[in-house]
Amino acid sequence: EQRNPGQPEFIQAVAEVMESLWPFISEHPRYAEHGLLDRLVEPERVIQFRVSWVDDRGEVQVNRGFRIQHSSAIGPFKGGLRFHPSVNLSVLKFLAFEQTFKNALTTLPMGGGKGGSDFDPKGRSPGEVMRFCQSFMTELYRHVGSDTDVPAGDIGVGGREIGFLAGMMKKLSNKASCVFTGKGLSFGGSLIRPEATGYGTVYFAEEMLRHAGKTMAGMTVSVSGNVAQYGIEKAMALGAKVITASDSSGTVIDEAGFTPEKLAVLMDVKNVHYGRVSEYAERLGLYFEAGKRPWHVPVDIAFPCATQNEIDGDDAAMLVRNGVKCVAEGANMPCNAAAVRVFEQNGVLYAPGKASNAGGVATSGLEMSQNAMRLSWTREEVDGRLLEIMQGIHRMCLQYGTRPDGTVSYSDGANVAGFVKVADAMLAQGVI
Ligand code: NDP
């Protein structure tokens, strides 16, 4: 805390991982040698820069840009860019730290990073968003590259923004190499990338349920956030009934459950018109609870997919009272430490984001491979690899997270499995 004053999210993430690692490191003390742990919690490089741009009224706006290059131990830095007013050093350092373990779990050669800006795209015209992205790149371009650092999207950075950023990168560098993932299909994007985080989270939950002798078919599901859209699609395909959708303004509750037709309307509202969940509710005459999150709704499975700390201890206790059996994180650290404790103490199957939402970055890794080979794989090929990667992550969690009584701590499993891979690579490369 003394080294990182005013960085509560970063300290929260490090504390959570270190708590998991401690028993393992006590049994394998070589992982505490060569200053390994001190080096692991210190980003390799932190870049902060000014982003000035001119809005539609001709006024100058000044935002802050960041890139945290946390670890390149197993490959180029890799992780998304977030544009949201809540972005600061603490949030991005926590995300870059987590990303390092998550990327290791995918088994693909990617290090960890994260970046973004306190720019708020809400209410900005497409021209303003483009000018902001271009200004952001006039600094970031010096620090990224296909073998150095490959950013992607995150909150507030979708396909449109990646297009503007990648376009400016190409113009400044005079190179068409893969410096961004999440690109449009017309300029090097991968099929299944938009779906990957949601699909992957549902695949992971199904693996957990199967290991516990259950299946998702017939279960009720609540979701929050945007990543959730494709999670809704895949959960429906596996026979579950999805009864909520949400954004930061509130929650739609639909006890009859989503259908493919309803999901098409939600996607039209959110992805085509950049609209609100309340507009979706209005269009279909569904019940909308303004200002509420979905966690008071009784369900068998919850997929929190919006943002960090959206489920606290009280929300978790409510979910448990209502009979929840499985919680898989689509977002990064949506459950705070108290919530995780409640789930783990009550026998709920709980998956941390670094395991369950790794399908997004894994498919970004597959986009990098396709770009390097100058090839495009089919939907089936990418989806098949995604499923295999999620099943592989599940197996690693079992290997390192199975307790003596046969139950599984997926957070311990994911933390230790990710750590072992990064730590082995760091030890092999000497003190750098
Ligand atoms: P989007 O911007 O597409 O969606 C974010 C969603 O979360 C929106 O519904 C937004 O509501 C809501 N939200 C954002 N901030 C808050 C807040 N402070 N309080 C309540 N709701 C909020 O981002 P993504 O879907 O890309 O990312 C969501 C989460 O998933 C993040 O934690 C991200 O790190 C994680 N993730 C994303 C991956 C990806 O492939 N995109 C991969 C792995 C993890 P509103 O629209 O009202 O602002």
Which residue has a Cα nearest atom 40 of ligand 1?
A: 360
Residue among 124, 154, 244 to mutate when testing ligand 1 (max atoms within 8 A of CB): 154
The number of the ligand 1 atom at minimal distance from the alpha carbon of 225 is 9
Among residues 411, 371, 374, 375, the alpha carbon closest in space to that of 393 is found at 411
Mean pLDDT score, 1-19: 92
Q: How many CA atoms lie within 13 A of 296 on its CB side?
A: 8
Structure confidence by residue, pLDDT tens digits, 155-209 = 999 999 999 999 999 999 999 898 999 999 999 999 999 999 999 999 999 999 9
Nearest CA to ligand 1 atom 1: 155
pLDDT band per the 50, 70, 90 thresholds, residue 1: confident
Q: With bands split at pLDDT 50, 70 and 90, how would you rate the model's confidence at 375?
A: very high
Q: What is the pLDDT of residue 18?
A: 95
Which pLDDT value is given to residue 133?
98
Q: Give, using CA atoms, the residue closest to atom 28 of ligand 1.
A: 306
Backbone angles phi, psi at 307, to 5 degrees: -160, 175
For the CA of 306, the nearest atom of ligand 1? 7
Looking at ligand 1, which atom is closest to the CA of residue 95?
Answer: 34
78 is catalytic: no
**Could you give phi then psi for residue 345, rounded to 5 degrees?**
-75, -20
Question: Which residue among 92, 97, 99, 248 has the greatest number of ligand 1 atoms within 8 angstroms of its CB, and so is best to mutate?
Answer: 248
Catalytic residue among 93, 102, 114, 234: 114
Q: How many angstroms separate the alpha carbon of residue 397 from the centre of ligand 1?
A: 25
Quote the percentage of the chain above a pLDDT of 70: 100
- Residue with the smallest CA separation from ligand 1 atom 20 is 248
Q: How high is the pLDDT of residue 2?
A: 81
The answer for residues whose C-beta is within 8 angstroms of residue 225's C-beta and 6 or more apart is 246, 247, 304, 305, 306, 307, 330, 331
Residue 156 Cα to ligand 1 midpoint, Å, equals 7
Ligand 1 pocket, residues with Cβ under 6 angstroms: 84, 86, 153-156, 158, 197, 225-227, 247-249, 305-307, 330-332, 357, 360
Task: Give the tens place of pLDDT for each residue, 44-77.
Answer: 999 999 999 999 999 999 999 999 999 999 999 9
Question: What does the alpha-carbon distance between residue 387 and residue 189 come to, in Å, rounded to a whole number?
Answer: 19
The alpha carbon of 132 and the centre of ligand 1 are apart by a number of angstroms equal to: 20
**Residues 94-116: pLDDT tens digits?**
999 999 999 999 999 999 999 99
Q: How confident is the model at residue 274 (pLDDT cuts 50, 70, 90)?
A: confident
- Give residue 244's pLDDT: 97
Residues 6+ apart with CB under 8 A from 260: 233, 236
In the predicted model, is pLDDT for residue 389 greater than 80? yes
Cβ-contact 297, 191 below 8 angstroms: no
pLDDT (0 to 100) of residue 228: 84
Question: Rounded mean pLDDT of the chain?
Answer: 96
| Confidence at residue 227, expressed as pLDDT on a 0 to 100 scale | 72
Substitution site in 81, 223, 226 for ligand 1 pocket (most atoms within 8 Å of beta carbon): 226
Q: What b/e string do you get for 111-126 counting C-beta neighbours within 10 Å, with b at 16 or more?
A: bbbbbbbbbebeebee
Edge-first strand listing for the sheet containing 326-328: 241-242, 220-224, 301-304, 326-328, 349-351
Q: What is the pLDDT of residue 266?
A: 97
pLDDT at site 93: 98
- What is the pLDDT averaged over residues 8-28? 95
The pLDDT tens digits of the residues spanning 130-148 come to 999 999 999 999 999 999 9
CA of 405 to the centre of ligand 1 (A): 36
- Predicted confidence at residue 108, as pLDDT, reads 97
Q: In what order do the strands lie in the sheet with 77-83?
A: 45-54, 60-71, 112-117, 77-83, 149-152
Does the structure show a pLDDT above 80 at 226?
Answer: no
CA distances from 306 to 141, 336, 353, 414, 428 (A): 29, 13, 12, 21, 37
Query: Is the pLDDT reported for residue 415 higher than 90?
Result: yes
pLDDT for residue 239:
98
Q: How far is the CA of 226 from the centre of ligand 1 (A)?
A: 6
* 158 CA: nearest ligand 1 atom: 3
Whether residue 378 has pLDDT greater than 80: yes
